[in-house]
Amino acid sequence: MKELKDFKEEIHNCSKCGMCQSVCPVYKATGSDCAVSKGQFIMLKGVINGDLKMTKTINRYLSLCLKCGKCSEYCPSGIDVVDIISVAKYEYFKTHFLEKIISLIQKYVVFGLFPHLISFFRPKIKSKKLDKKVIYFGGCSSKYTGNNSVIKLLNNIGIEVITPDFTCCGIPFFVRGDIKNFQDYMNKYIKILKHYDIKEVVTTCASCEKTIKDYIKWCEEKDKEFLSGVNVRNIFEYLRENNAKLRLKKPVKVTYHRPCNQSNFDDIKYILTSTENLEYIEADNYDKCCGLNGIFKPKEYPIISKITNFKRNSIISTGAKYVLTSCFGCEIALNSYSLWKYKTKNLIEFLAENLESSI
Ligand code: SF4
Ligand code: SF4
């Protein structure tokens, strides 16, 4: 397991240029140097050198980071900030009982009992048997919303869908600094993937997609070769590649929130602009963070509300009835502060519910 000291060189590579400050939503909301990667790296350097202890105050600054990764996109030193901050949080996590209790609730209730209970009452359809096969990594959202829309859409373009029992990809644990539980999920799924002789994995959630692609960075040496042969793709890439022709039953005006973890926005935009009867209005800040990592921290509400108000207003100003997205976490966040001014839907669910013909 990687430790904070393993990132000493990367942290040292920070040139203090301040580019991260110009894009960090938390820095914009707080103006605090300690809330953005540049300042956090100065603190973490002190922790690695033994000059500072990983205190509650440092952990609070690390927790303010929304893990949006915007700073890394602009960092001239190419530093993966989210990885470093998550591993740094593990230094605090491993010695704090309350953090472990929260993780247990997350593991056994939020991503264990609840999703399984809900999915038990959902009608399920079976995939057709077809020559081309993919494994669907549904993540926790598929337990709440079902796999049916994915099966219908992919069967329609000639692809059979295998649906093993995947629950959480592990990202909620990773960003809280619970690297141990994250790796437990990852190792379980690597075992499941090895069991099937299928190297194509499809996801509908941008965060699951990024996390599974990143498994190769965190897995044991013996699994690296296997994972390098696994092709993880978002369902929208398949739909675009297969020239899926989509038409809604009636005209609807929508906007779209691009999750921070989404790498394939061109494919999404293709679906949004080519689907008949779908009017897509791009919001000014369509690619700015939804604030999810902060909205569940009531103590930080004054900071987070600045970020979420900004996001809500840009959605409302489009006049769209729906804001669509493709990350279950973003969906929860956008919904939580909508004030009933718009409806939030997962893009794939929205399509499945509104397409004209039986897809
Ligand atoms: S953009 Fe990168 S190199 Fe520049 S201050 Fe931020 S973390 Fe350091
Ligand atoms: S990941 Fe996002 S919130 Fe965190 S320091 Fe970078 S820009 Fe700021």
Question: What per-residue confidence (pLDDT) applies to 152?
Answer: 85
Question: Does ligand 1 lie within 6 Å of residue 12's CB atom?
Answer: no
**The dihedral of CA 194, 86, 345, 321: what is its sign?**
negative
Q: Is the CB of 19 under 6 A from ligand 1?
A: yes
User: How close is the Cα of 75 to the center of ligand 2, in Å?
Assistant: 11
- Which amino acid residue places its CA nearest to atom 4 of ligand 1? 17
Q: What type of residue sits at position 194?
A: K
Please tell me the distance from the alpha carbon of residue 143 to that of residue 118, in angstroms, as a whole number: 7
The residue nearest atom 7 of ligand 2, judged by CA position, is: 24
Find out whether 166 and 194 touch, Cβ atoms under 8 Å.
Answer: no
The pLDDT, as a whole number, for residue 345 is 93
Can you say whether residue 353 is alpha, beta or left, with left for phi > 0 and alpha for psi between -120 and 50 degrees?
alpha
At 146 the pLDDT is 64
Which residue type, as a one-letter code, is found at position 145?
T
Please tell me the distance between residue 70's alpha carbon and the centre of ligand 2 in angstroms: 6
Laid out side by side, the sheet with 200-203 consists of 159-162, 132-137, 200-203, 231-234
Q: How many CB atoms lie within 10 A of CB 264?
A: 16
Check if 38 has its Cβ closer than 6 Å to any atom of ligand 1.
yes
Report in angstroms the alpha-carbon separations of 202 from 55, 151, 193.
41, 11, 12
Distance of CA 307 to the CA centre of its chain: 18
Any atom of ligand 2 within 6 Å of the Cβ of 307: no
- What tokens were used for 97? 């009982």
Crossing angle of helices 179-195 and 81-93, rounded to 10°:
120
- Mutation pick for ligand 1 pocket among 14, 45, 65 (CB with most ligand atoms within 8 Å): 14
User: Ligand 2 pocket, 70 CB below 6 A?
Assistant: yes
So what's the pLDDT on residue 359? 47
**pTM assigned to the model:** 0.90
State whether the beta carbon of 21 lies less than 6 angstroms from ligand 1.
no
| Whole-number Å distance between alpha carbons of 150 and 130 | 15
Rounded CA gap, 144 and 118, in Å?
6
In angstroms, the CA 169 to CA 232 distance is 13
User: Does the C-beta of 71 come closer than 6 Å to ligand 2?
Assistant: yes
Angle at 242 between CA 239 and CA 245, to 5 degrees: 70
Helix (H, G, I), strand (E, B) or coil at 247: strand
From ligand 1's centre to the CA of 169, what distance in Å?
Answer: 29
For 205-215, b/e burial (b = at least 16 CB within 10 A) is bbbbbbbbbbb
Cβ–ligand 2 contact at 75 (below 6 Å): no
- List the chain pLDDT tens, one digit each, 359 residues: 789 999 999 999 999 999 999 999 999 999 999 999 999 999 999 999 999 999 999 999 999 999 999 999 999 999 999 999 999 999 999 888 888 999 899 888 888 877 777 777 777 788 999 999 999 998 887 766 667 888 888 898 899 999 988 888 999 999 989 999 999 999 999 999 999 988 999 999 999 999 999 999 999 999 999 999 999 999 999 888 888 888 999 999 999 999 999 988 999 999 999 999 999 999 999 999 998 876 667 778 888 888 999 999 999 999 999 999 999 889 999 999 999 999 999 998 898 889 886 44
> What's the Rg (C-alpha) of the chain?
21
User: Residue 78: CB partners within 8 Å, gap ≥ 6?
Assistant: 72
Ligand 1 touching residue 24 (CB < 6 A)? no
